[in-house]
Amino acid sequence: MARRFSSLLLLVFSAALLAGCASTGERQDYLRQAERLPAEVSFAEIDELPGTATSLTALIDSRELQSLVQEALDNNPGLQQTLLALEQSQATLRQRRGERYPELEAGFSASDTEDSEEQYTGSLTLSWQVDVWQQIEDGINADEQSQFQQQATYQAVRDTLAAEVMSSWLNLVAQKRSLAIERRRLDTLELNEQLIQQRYQRGLGGLDDLDSARSLTYSTLASVRELEDTIQQDERALNSLLGRMDDNPYQVPDQYPSVERPLSGLPEQTLARRPDLQAAWYAIAAADYNASVAYKDLLPRIDIQAALEDVATSPSDALLTDPVWSLLGQLTAPLFQGGQLYAAAEIASLDTAIQYETYRETLLTAVEEVRNALGLEQAFAERRAYIRQALDKQSLALERYQERYRAGNATILELLSVQQETYDLESQLDSLIYNQLDNRITLTLALGLGIDE
């Protein structure tokens, strides 16, 4: 009996092996193509901007900011959703790994029919799918790559959240500095009104000068009110990032903090650090394994089942005291399903191609972000130098016009114009400083330098 079963099992396996040799079609190696793409990238400007910061959190030395970043990492609901999705993928992987092992089931039943004794049946069944084609292993590998993808996505969300908190905090510093400039502009305009009134009372000016000064004053008051409202909105936006429900104002420094330049590297190293690119690569790997699983659905499947069964007239005797054993080997092969399996395999293969194109798109976006941030670092530095020179010259011109106005050699409109240009240049310079510092946060994120663990 055992010899006949062994021969039958050998025959079944041989038939399955021959069927497995049938070609299921060649598939493109998208993973290898994706691995070669970063080597084609170069950043000409990267050597011209040496930096020291090795992470986002090393950019700005501020305990208050570090505390806000940590609060966001602990409480931001979007990040928590991503973390839960990661834990879900880990549980899915553990569930999938269970397919490697046989299934063992125990059963017990009782039956009673007319004119016969009660019968009790106890059974123990072991079922196992022989993973001849490594299909189960491919499915596990697909879930494993999906879990790696979710891990990289979680890291990308963490880094982006930290960068957003840092940018929001730095923006509050910039907005409050802009508000201070506008308030100084307002103080100057109010002082001008007083001087014009005094000159008018002495017969040295007209009401037109006073109206012009008051017009600028009211315009500046509107700008001040707009900035105050903008600051409140920005504080609420920061509260949302931190997961806060309150509406308390933030205390930020009056001066910009020192923001270091990020430490760059070779293009391949730079791109390899980016978690969004890592996630896109793992997505290709997962899709490739899923495509392999779909193609192997076209192949025969071997299942083995071993069972112990005991039938008795009492419950205690049915507890496998004198069981009958059975062993079943089964080969099933799909013959006709209306082309469904071939279509499913093609769909899975096309999904791999889609993930490859998604990787290419992510890579192109990453390259664009790095190049834009590198270019802006240089552009902001040059523009700051030009505006600084313009402001220095404008300050000298303002002093001359103030002296000429006091001597009666310049009109109030001329003085107001020079004053406004001076404050405009000061505001423009301050905005450039903020934009350059904020761009360093963007550049650090683009270079794949995330937060410290």
Pairs from 99-105 (Cβ < 8 Å, separation ≥ 24):
99/129, 99/136, 99/139, 99/140, 100/131, 100/136, 100/137, 100/140, 101/128, 102/126, 102/127, 102/128, 103/127, 103/128
Instruction: Say whether pLDDT at 228 is over 80.
Output: yes
- Contact partners, residue 141, CB within 8 Å, separation at least 6: 285, 289
Amino acid at 10: L
Start-to-end CA span in the chain (Å) = 63
Instruction: Assess if residue 151 is contained within a domain.
Output: yes
Rank 244-248, 262-266, 373-377, 390-394 by mean pLDDT and report only the highest. 390-394
Instruction: Say whether pLDDT at 180 is over 90.
Output: yes
Instruction: Say whether pLDDT at 179 is over 80.
Output: yes
SS3 helix, strand, coil % of the chain, rounded to 5? 70, 10, 20
Give residue-wise pLDDT tens across range 421-447. 999 999 999 999 999 999 999 999 999
Residue 199 pLDDT level (bands cut at 50, 70, 90): confident
Specify the CATH number for the domain of residue 382. Answer: 1.20.1600.10
Cβ–Cβ contacts within 10 Å for residue 314, how many?
Answer: 11
Tokens representing 12?
A: 């079944």
Give residue-wise pLDDT tens across range 13-30. 555 455 444 445 567 888
The residues facing 331 across adjacent strands are 302
Mean pLDDT, rounded, for 276-282: 96
Helix axes 207-242, 412-446, angle to 10 degrees: 20
Rank 103-117, 144-158, 186-200 by mean pLDDT and report only the highest. 144-158
Range of the domain at 412: 22-100+133-299+361-446
Write down the pLDDT at residue 107.
87
Q: Quick one: CA torsion of 202, 206, 210, 213, rounded to 10 degrees? A: -110
Mean pLDDT, rounded, for 113-131: 83
Write down the pLDDT at residue 2.
47
Q: Which of 275, 283, 294 is nearest to 353 (CA)?
A: 283
Mean pLDDT, rounded, for 143-164: 96
Write down the pLDDT at residue 157.
97
Average pLDDT over the chain reads 87
**Is the Cβ–Cβ distance between 158 and 65 less than 8 Å?**
no
CA angle 30, 34, 39 (to 5 degrees): 150
Tokens representing 143?
A: 């879930």
- Measure the CA–CA gap between 331 and 10, rounded to whole angstroms: 11
- Measure the CA–CA gap between 329 and 339, rounded to whole angstroms: 27
Min mean pLDDT across 38-52, 104-118, 213-227, 359-373 is at: 38-52
**Is the Cβ–Cβ distance between 185 and 220 less than 8 Å?**
yes
Reduced to 3 states, what is the DSSP secondary structure of residue 336? coil
Pairs from 434-437 (Cβ < 8 Å, separation ≥ 24):
434/170, 434/171, 434/173, 434/174, 434/177, 434/256, 435/376, 435/380, 436/376, 436/377, 436/380, 436/381, 436/384, 437/170, 437/256, 437/257, 437/259
pTM of the model: 0.86
Write down the pLDDT at residue 40.
82
**Is the Cβ–Cβ distance between 441 and 163 less than 8 Å?**
yes
Mean pLDDT, rounded, for 128-132: 90
How many domains does the chain contain in total? 1
Instruction: Assess if residue 404 is contained within a domain.
Output: yes
**Is the Cβ–Cβ distance between 332 and 288 less than 8 Å?**
no
Instruction: Say whether pLDDT at 269 is over 60.
Output: yes
Instruction: Assess if residue 113 is contained within a domain.
Output: no
Write down the pLDDT at residue 88.
95
- Measure the CA–CA gap between 419 and 410, rounded to whole angstroms: 13
Mean pLDDT, rounded, for 145-174: 97
Mean pLDDT, rounded, for 315-331: 79
Largest Cα span, the chain? 132
Instruction: Assess if residue 121 is contained within a domain.
Output: no
Q: Which of 42, 442, 34, 445 is nearest to 266 (CA)?
A: 42
- Measure the CA–CA gap between 240 and 230, rounded to whole angstroms: 15
Q: Which of 129, 112, 131 is nearest to 120 (CA)?
A: 112
Min mean pLDDT across 85-89, 192-196, 377-381, 385-389 is at: 192-196
Give residue-wise pLDDT tens across range 292-314. 999 999 999 999 999 988 777 77
* 166 sits in which H/E element: helix 135-201
